[in-house]
Amino acid sequence: MSISELRAHHALCVEFFQGKGYSPAFVDNMAELVGALRASDPLLTLRGAADGVCRSCPHNNGGVCDSAEKTARYDAGVLRLTGLNAGETLRWSALRALVRERILDAGRLCEVCGDCQWYDICSQAAVG
């Protein structure tokens, strides 16, 4: 599987993916994407809309997230804290390093996605 686009906040979700998710199809798709990111360190264009992670998500209604307010807010938080912009292209490793330095090491995950249903799992992994 190749990947060339990513919603900004999915850089965080990928970091903490532990084989759990909304459905078996979602988990399978996510596992493939995470493997592709780690294996090939692709160039990624940052999106503010549905991406390959959303492809198999049961909350994806024809390309529109049924939690669109939350997911857009999470994207905006990652962009604000990293200084990146939607439409910008950079390598996965560079995006990951920025997210690590400016959000995770800075203890700011809660500012981005503290009301996500998976936050307890991700925040524990972030400090673990």
Chain contacts with ligand SF4 (rule: CB under 6 A): 9, 12-13, 16, 74, 113, 116, 118-119, 122
Nearer to ligand SF4, 12 or 81 (CB): 12
Rounded to a whole number of angstroms, the minimum distance from the CB of residue 92 to ligand SF4 is 16
Supply the minimum distance, in Å, between the C-beta of residue 32 and ligand SF4: 17
Q: Give the nearer residue to ligand SF4 in terms of CB position, either 94 or 121.
A: 121
Minimal distance, residue 100 CB to ligand SF4, in Å:
13
CA–CA gap between residue 97 and residue 79 (Å, rounded): 14
Whichever of 9 and 47 has its CB closer to ligand SF4, that residue is 9
* Residue length of the chain: 128
- Residue type, position 98, single letter: L
Q: Which residue has the tokens 């991406």?
A: 51
The single-letter code of the amino acid at 64 is V
